[in-house]
A and B are shown apart, each in its own frame.
Chain A
């Protein structure tokens, strides 16, 4: 533990280099889970040829369809809206450099399209004057790549991708520029019901729910991205198969959340790996609009697992969290009603190992936690479990080992926190590593040591 602290500075430097090295390697080795990997090369080439043809046609014909003359060239927003509709499958839509003020939501429903700007700080779609549309950009198509632009200050969600196969968001930024506020939109980058999600080198700032939120999806990679000043930095919800790694997650209310909620068509969230992330100082007071489920997340939470299964959390650096480095909870602790026979409210097989835990538990943002800390006259340990467990459950809820600090607590929430106790022995078990979605190096030796 002491060694870790001393080595911390060196680790940070190393991690910075490592993240950047991986970032560029990642660009070349991109793959979006099994479905994308299985795609035969020939079809990939065809897509490229199509894209090239479409690009030529865009060059040759202006907006792609000659007869469309309604767009005044001096109105780049109308031109962009038109291009998003007229682009042929496999084509490219270019967002010009500079700032475009958009007053109603944009959408794309053509598959295989790349929407490309000059960079997430150079091509900015500002929705500060938005009058219509529940999101900034809505994508309802397969095999879409969004890269190199920003969506700012939307009334609702920034970029929503609803029902898709293979979405890539690379170097995109979703931001509410006025800082944390419950008037900000809910989600920054928001793929939902998608098979194959790759989010990399993305930035999400200021969302009043989750900055990067992947819901009801499969085969997900979120990497080398930055989430700041959101209620939840990165959230994986009701999803199967996710790798969340190499991200910087700072100044949110809760850093990284792996959740399952009742009442959604997709249930059985499982198999998420959270590794080699920098999860630091997520102590922003919760600013979610009242009633939202993330409104229940205590400020000062590094990583939160709720009602999810087979979650592997390793080689992360998690430090400066007033409530806890890692919390593992049941949905039952929310005391919210649910009526969903397919829903499993209990977490199971959460594997926490080889993480570096910095300071935590020193200012719990939760009444029972605060009372507990007061009674113990010490900071709470880094790993907390609420203690809800299915009767007769045979699998472990948590196995924890080789972390920089071994202390952990069972909060006894079912018993009204009366019998909260330290629980190192309870978590003394092993679980098999998950296969994962990406080909990222999952050797714990490249972690914080």
Chain B
């Protein structure tokens, strides 16, 4: 009996040391970011090793944090477009996104730091507070996502599976909660609905990459093609270079609000090229919005931003009301103005649309 028990314990210990097939991760992500070998802190800069930096003209709002993004392709390989909404990256690719703020007064500045001037540009750390670096790694089993949380002096970043709520102070003294996502919260945006739960990158869309033009290097997407980081034979219809409401909604909302997204049950499609006005929210009544509806009858009332649920949800910070649901606790005032102007110019009337 004792022998059997011993065997059982041995078997159990063996089970502990051995990760079950494809669960949770084939080769666990290292505890410290530097051991991942893709970003290195070099004096007052953070620079990619065997990779390059990129930027987005239209970016996800994350409480006014600035972001330094890098891609690390396996040697000799390239991403491909193949007409997909987001570039397809080969197995072995690592994508990083480092969230940081300019330090100001006793807190952080609530405005974006200037973007990088080119793909070889490191992140200059002087006067910056590093917060977290999020990783997407493409393994044979699919993409995995996790965040690394920087320590207070920005020297070391450690993996956190459970995320964190950080107490942040802005330069004007206002405090806010900054959310470092747990692994499931990564999936809330990077995963799809039930037919498509696997994680995938969201940001690197050809149209968005091509919307950025550097003074020295020219069009970012053209640079990717010149340097063979992407194989793409057809021309890309770049999004506008300037702030644009539809591009903003695509980048900030459409990862959930599309037919195969996690918010598919709401029936909205906020992708840049979505055509049906009703699916954009025009004259669309709320479904399961709860307090999110704010007493308003439709998602978008053309010409009437004050009567549009979209504005109401963007203008709030209550978790039960606000959109996006995750990743912000401040209002993005510039985006609110952008969407307000867009709705103001839409034509239509929801008073009796389609009734009887």
Chain A residues with a Cβ under 8 A of chain B: 53, 56-57, 60-61, 65-68, 70-71, 78, 81-82, 84-86, 88-89, 103-105, 107-109, 130-134, 138, 140, 142, 154-157, 162-165, 182-183, 185-187, 190, 192-193, 208-209, 213, 215-216, 261-266, 289-293, 332, 335-340
Q: Which residue of A lies closest to B320 (CB)?
A: A156
Q: Which residues of B contact A86 (CB under 8 A)?
A: 24, 161
Q: Which residues of B contact A336 (CB under 8 A)?
A: 285, 297, 355
B165 at the interface (CB under 8 A from A): yes
Q: Which residue of B lies closest to A134 (CB)?
A: B325
Q: A134-B320, A292-B286 are in contact. List 6 more A-B contacts (CB 8 A).
A: A132-B177, A140-B184, A155-B319, A289-B291, A293-B285, A337-B352
B194 at the interface (CB under 8 A from A): yes
Closest CB pairs A-B (n = 10): A186-B290, A163-B194, A290-B295, A156-B320, A107-B184, A134-B325, A291-B293, A337-B353, A339-B354, A155-B320
Give bound CA distance, A134 to B19, whole Å.
33
Q: Which of B1-46 contact A (CB under 8 A)?
A: 9, 12-13, 15-17, 19-20, 23-24, 28, 31
Q: Which residues of A contact B160 (CB under 8 A)?
A: 70
A45 shortest CB reach to chain B, Å = 18
Which of B19, B197, B289, B353 is the one whose CB lies under 8 Å from A292? Answer: B289
Q: Given A133-B325, A291-B297, check contact A263 B12 (CB 8 Å).
A: no
Chain A interface: which of B101-109, B134-142, B185-193?
Answer: B185-193
Interface flags for B310-321 (1: CB within 8 Å of A; 0: not) read 000000001110
Q: Given A290-B295, A335-B355, check contact A185 B290 (CB 8 Å).
A: yes
Q: Which of B275-306 contact A (CB under 8 A)?
A: 278, 283-298
Q: Given A338-B285, A339-B283, check contact A60 B12 (CB 8 Å).
A: yes
Q: Which residue of A lies closest to B199 (CB)?
A: A109
Q: Which residues of A contact B297 (CB under 8 A)?
A: 291, 336-337
Q: Which residue of A lies closest to B194 (CB)?
A: A163
Q: Which residue of B lies closest to A336 (CB)?
A: B285
Do A157 and B161 touch across chains, with their CB atoms under 8 A apart? no
Q: What are 24 A-B interface contacts by the 8 Å CB criterion?
A: A60-B13, A65-B19, A65-B24, A70-B161, A85-B161, A85-B182, A88-B23, A105-B319, A131-B319, A131-B329, A133-B319, A140-B184, A140-B187, A162-B265, A163-B194, A185-B291, A192-B288, A193-B265, A261-B285, A263-B278, A264-B287, A289-B291, A332-B355, A339-B353
Give bound CA distance, A337 to B354, whole Å.
6
Give bound CA distance, A155 to B160, whole Å.
25
Do A66 and B291 touch across chains, with their CB atoms under 8 A apart? no
Chain B residues with a Cβ under 8 A of chain A: 9, 12-13, 15-17, 19-20, 23-24, 28, 31, 158, 160-163, 165, 177, 179, 182-185, 187-188, 191, 193-195, 197, 259, 262, 264-267, 278, 283-298, 309, 318-320, 325-326, 329, 350-356
Q: Which residues of A contact B326 (CB under 8 A)?
A: 132-134
Give bound CA distance, A337 to B13, whole Å.
62
Q: Which residue of A lies closest to B179 (CB)?
A: A132
Give bound CA distance, A293 to B298, whole Å.
11
Q: Which residue of A lies closest to B146 (CB)?
A: A85
Do A57 and B12 touch across chains, with their CB atoms under 8 A apart? yes
Q: Which residues of A contact B259 (CB under 8 A)?
A: 265
Which of A104, A164, A340 is the one whose CB lies under 8 Å from B194? Answer: A164
Give bound CA distance, A84 to B262, whole Å.
19
Do A85 and B184 touch across chains, with their CB atoms under 8 A apart? yes
Do B329 and A208 touch across chains, with their CB atoms under 8 A apart? no
Q: Which residues of A contact B182 (CB under 8 A)?
A: 81, 85, 107
Q: Given A85-B162, A88-B20, check contact A109 B354 (CB 8 Å).
A: no
Give bound CA distance, A265 to B296, whole Å.
22
Give bound CA distance, A132 to B177, whole Å.
8
Do B184 and A163 touch across chains, with their CB atoms under 8 A apart? no
Give bound CA distance, A192 to B309, whole Å.
21
B182 shortest CB reach to chain A, Å = 6
What is the predominant secondary structure among interface residues of chain B facing chain A? loop
B215 shortest CB reach to chain A, Å = 39
Q: Which residues of B contact A68 (CB under 8 A)?
A: 161
Do A187 and B288 touch across chains, with their CB atoms under 8 A apart? yes
Q: Which residues of B contact A265 (CB under 8 A)?
A: 259, 264-265, 267
Do A263 and B284 touch across chains, with their CB atoms under 8 A apart? yes
Give bound CA distance, A109 to B199, whole Å.
12
Give bound CA distance, A67 to B296, whole Å.
50
Do B162 and A109 touch across chains, with their CB atoms under 8 A apart? no
Q: Which residues of B contact A292 (CB under 8 A)?
A: 286, 289-290, 293
Q: Which residue of B lies closest to A193 (CB)?
A: B265
Do A185 and B320 touch across chains, with their CB atoms under 8 A apart? yes
Q: Which residues of B contact A163 (CB under 8 A)?
A: 193-195, 197, 262, 264-265
Q: Which residues of B contact A187 (CB under 8 A)?
A: 288, 290
Do A66 and B265 touch across chains, with their CB atoms under 8 A apart? no
Do B267 and A263 touch across chains, with their CB atoms under 8 A apart? yes
Give bound CA distance, A265 to B354, whole Å.
18
Give bound CA distance, A266 to B264, whole Å.
10
Do A61 and B16 touch across chains, with their CB atoms under 8 A apart? yes
Do A339 and B17 touch across chains, with their CB atoms under 8 A apart? no
Which of A65, A103, A289, A337 is the one whose CB lies under 8 Å from B290? Answer: A289
Give bound CA distance, A215 to B267, whole Å.
12
Do B287 and A261 touch across chains, with their CB atoms under 8 A apart? yes
Give bound CA distance, A183 to B292, whole Å.
11
Do B320 and A103 touch across chains, with their CB atoms under 8 A apart? no
- Interface-centre pick from B9, B185, B329 (highest chain A CB count, 10 A): B185
Do A53 and B15 touch across chains, with their CB atoms under 8 A apart? yes
B162 shortest CB reach to chain A, Å = 5
Q: Which residue of B lies closest to A50 (CB)?
A: B20
Do B193 and A193 touch across chains, with their CB atoms under 8 A apart? yes
Q: Which residues of A contact B165 (CB under 8 A)?
A: 103-104, 131-132
Do B291 and A186 touch across chains, with their CB atoms under 8 A apart? yes
Q: Given A186-B291, A264-B267, check contact A338 B188 (CB 8 Å).
A: no
Give bound CA distance, A337 to B161, whole Å.
45
Give bound CA distance, A138 to B191, whole Å.
14
Q: Which residues of A contact B267 (CB under 8 A)?
A: 263-265
Q: Given A193-B194, A209-B288, check contact A289 B293 (CB 8 Å).
A: yes
Q: Which residues of A contact B262 (CB under 8 A)?
A: 140, 162-163
Q: Which residue of A lies closest to B266 (CB)?
A: A264
Which of B12, B158, B194, B355 is the one whose CB lies under 8 Å from A165? Answer: B194
Do A193 and B264 touch across chains, with their CB atoms under 8 A apart? yes
Give bound CA distance, A213 to B262, whole Å.
18
Do B295 and A291 touch across chains, with their CB atoms under 8 A apart? yes
Give bound CA distance, A57 to B14, whole Å.
10
Give bound CA distance, A19 to B310, whole Å.
45
Give bound CA distance, A88 to B266, whole Å.
30
Do B353 and A66 touch across chains, with their CB atoms under 8 A apart? no
Give bound CA distance, A365 to B277, whole Å.
35
Do B287 and A71 touch across chains, with their CB atoms under 8 A apart? no
Do B184 and A156 touch across chains, with their CB atoms under 8 A apart? no
Give bound CA distance, A103 to B286, whole Å.
27
Q: Which residues of A contact B9 (CB under 8 A)?
A: 60
Do B319 and A134 touch across chains, with their CB atoms under 8 A apart? yes
A88 shortest CB reach to chain B, Å = 5
B35 shortest CB reach to chain A, Å = 13
Q: Which residues of B contact A263 (CB under 8 A)?
A: 267, 278, 284-285, 287
